[in-house]
Amino acid sequence: MKAYEYFISKNDVEKIHENVLRILSEVGVKFENPKALEVFKKHGARVDGETVYIDRKMLEDALSTAPEKFTIYSCTKGEVTVGGGSMLVAGLSSNIYIQEDGKIRKMTNDDIIDQFKMNETSPITNCARFNFFLDTSGMTPEQIAYGPLAMILKYSTKHHLTARVCALGLPHEKVYEVMRKGYQLMKRFEGVEDKVVIMEGVNPLSPLSYDYDPIEKLFALCDEGQAIWITPCSMPLLTGPASVAGTLATSVAETLAGIVLTQLVRPGTPVVFGNTSASTNMRTVQLSIGAPEASLINYATAALADYYKLPFRTGGALSDAKDFDVQAGAESMMMLYSTLSCKPDFAIHFAGTMGTFNVVCYEKYILDEEIFNMVQRILRGIDFSDEKFCFEEIKKVGPRGNFLRGRTPKAYREDYYLAQLFNKEDPMQWQNGGAVSVREVAKRKVKERIESYSCPEITKEQEELLAPYIPDKYRDGI
């Protein structure tokens, strides 16, 4: 039984699909890039200006060539399969703001490094991410574009699924070439020519459109035979209609339109069906990612991915909190619970995110790890095997006896999660022992964690390959 079945029936999924089809064929999707329009036309789609209409047949053909699972090759980290509940996850947050001791400030390059280290030393993440540099003064254009990717390749021990080639600020006509060169660099690093070595995100512009640059990126990925994840983040009543069902329908139509393009450009291109659409708070006119409706989007996305037989991305430890507070705890628990219940194949906001995606908080990284462990414990359920009923033990101890004797038994350690961050003291002991806050405990753990990071070894050849792309400051370690 799948967790989403409690929320979404087969019939609901089919209803969403019928609405998606109607949108694709009657409303259409805008592709603001002549190359894309050319491809659609060539394959017989109706194109009106920049609007492309996709019919059932074209969608079904695309879904039939998109693989249910695919493998990402790495000579250094081993192959990894995306699909079937692969749970390839990274903590990633913004490169905009950081929350520190109750205050929000702008991020620096050093913060980007610390975020990377938090992710590297995290027991719950298995993928690496590196944010784009904020201060690029003194860096070459190549370092700006490929620096984040080169930093991952040089300094991470985790799967480097996502490319992080930076095309910010480049003229449109350069995007394709810069991206493509990045994927080629990855292949050279891995020493292969014809394998999938990277997966990269291409996001629609809700509602129902793709702008120029992401389409260039999509072509670059297809042309290099790499994998693509497509993740709309639609805001109801702004970039999506006023309802959850409507926002689902438009955002799914966006994703599928992108997937159709990938399959027309290069049939068999591995794609991930994503959705992180959420809520809009109309009092502040802000995206709200720590929203109950976002939990429902997680379940719906899982259900639709099963229906379309595609790997999927959704959710994370998402919160709109501005501080390390009750809201951060409650929203992250809500969102990680639904996310982990859905078992996404891939997710990139698994720890440390707050403030509607735009704020990073290192202490929240530690919090989200605790929440992750708690939720995974719940989802493991209860072991009802005979020996777990401890009948002989119960008989021996008897009514009004005490089960505590000697060392903590294995059965207990197997069944009960031991909190790593949360306070389980007696209230007065805590108060009299200095009332150390959970924030303080998290802060100490953050410091230990960042200090515990050590650089992995790579070969001399790999080192030399990456050298031109690594900014001087980080060439000899981070």
b/e for 383-393, b at 16 or more Cβ within 10 A? Answer: eeeeeeeeeee
Residues in the chain: 478
Check the CA dihedral 122-128-131-136 and report its sign.
Answer: positive
Residue 110 has a CB neighbour count (10 Å cut-off) of: 12
Q: Which listed range, 115-123, 165-173, 259-267, 354-362, lies at the site for a copy of itself (CB under 8 A)?
A: 354-362
Q: Contact, 306 vs 2, CB < 8 A? A: yes
Our CB check for a copy of itself shows the closer of 55 and 293 to be: 293
Residue 10 touching a copy of itself (CB under 8 A): no
Could you tell me if 275 and 73 are in contact, meaning their C-beta atoms sit under 8 angstroms apart? no
Using alpha carbons, select from 438, 443, 407, 445 the residue that is nearest to residue 423. Answer: 438
324 binds a copy of itself (CB under 8 A): yes
SS (H, E, C) 412-468: HHHHCCCCCCCCCCCHHHHHHCCCCCHHHHHHHHHHHHHHHCCCCCCCHHHHHHHHH
Q: How many CA atoms lie within 13 A of 143 on its CB side?
A: 16
Q: Binding to a copy of itself (CB under 8 A): which residues in 199-218?
A: 205, 207-209
Is 25 a binder of a copy of itself (CB under 8 A)? no
Single out the segment in contact with a copy of itself by CB under 8 A; choices: 18-26, 134-142, 145-153, 217-225. 18-26
Burial of residue 182 (CB within 10 Å: 0-12, 13-18, 19+) is buried
Listed ranges 62-70, 113-121, 268-276, 285-293: which one lies at the site for a copy of itself (CB under 8 A):
285-293
Strand arrangement, sheet containing 209-210: 46-48, 51-53, 29-31, 209-210
Residues 156-195 that bind a copy of itself (CB under 8 A): none
CB of 84 to a copy of itself, least distance (A): 19
Check residue 19 for interaction with a copy of itself (CB under 8 A). yes
Which of helix, strand or coil describes residue 436?
Answer: coil
Strand-strand pairing, 286-288 and 227-230:
unpaired
Query: At its nearest, how many Å lie between a copy of itself and the CB of residue 263?
Result: 20
Among candidate residues 313, 310, 303, 226, the one with its CA nearest the CA of residue 262 = 226
- Nearest distance in Å: CB 308, a copy of itself: 17
Q: Is 51 in the site for a copy of itself (CB under 8 A)?
A: yes
- CB 93, min distance to a copy of itself, A: 12
| Count of residues that bind a copy of itself according to CB under 8 A | 131
11 versus 137: smaller Cβ distance to a copy of itself: 11
Span from 74-82, 84-92, 345-353, 393-401 in contact with a copy of itself (CB under 8 A): 393-401
Interface stretch with a copy of itself, choices 154-162, 260-268, 306-314, 384-392 (CB under 8 A): 384-392
Before 232, cis peptide (omega within 30)?
Answer: no
Closest CB to a copy of itself among residues 143, 356: 356
From 85, 102, 141, 456, residue interacting with a copy of itself (rule: CB under 8 A): 102
Q: Does 370 bind a copy of itself (CB under 8 A)?
A: yes
Helix, strand, coil percent values for the chain (each to nearest 5): 45, 15, 40
Site for a copy of itself in 111-150 (CB under 8 A): none
Q: Which is nearer to a copy of itself, 437 or 454 (CB)?
A: 437
Q: Contact 333/316 with Cβ under 8 angstroms?
A: no
Among 10, 64, 177, 419, interactor with a copy of itself by CB under 8 A? 419
Our finding on whether 415 is near a copy of itself (CB under 8 A) is: yes
- In the complex with a copy of itself, which residue's Cβ is closer, 190 or 368? 368
- Is residue 67 a contact residue for a copy of itself (CB under 8 A)? no
Neighbouring C-alpha atoms within 13 Å toward the C-beta of 438 = 19
Which 230-269 positions form the footprint of a copy of itself (CB under 8 A)? 236-246, 248-250
Which CB atom, from 393 or from 463, has the smaller least distance to a copy of itself? 393
Q: With respect to a copy of itself, which residue has the nearer C-beta, 50 or 61?
A: 50
Residue whose C-alpha is closest to residue 355's, from 286, 439, 275, 280:
286
Task: Please report whether residue 270 would count as binding a copy of itself according to CB under 8 A.
Answer: no
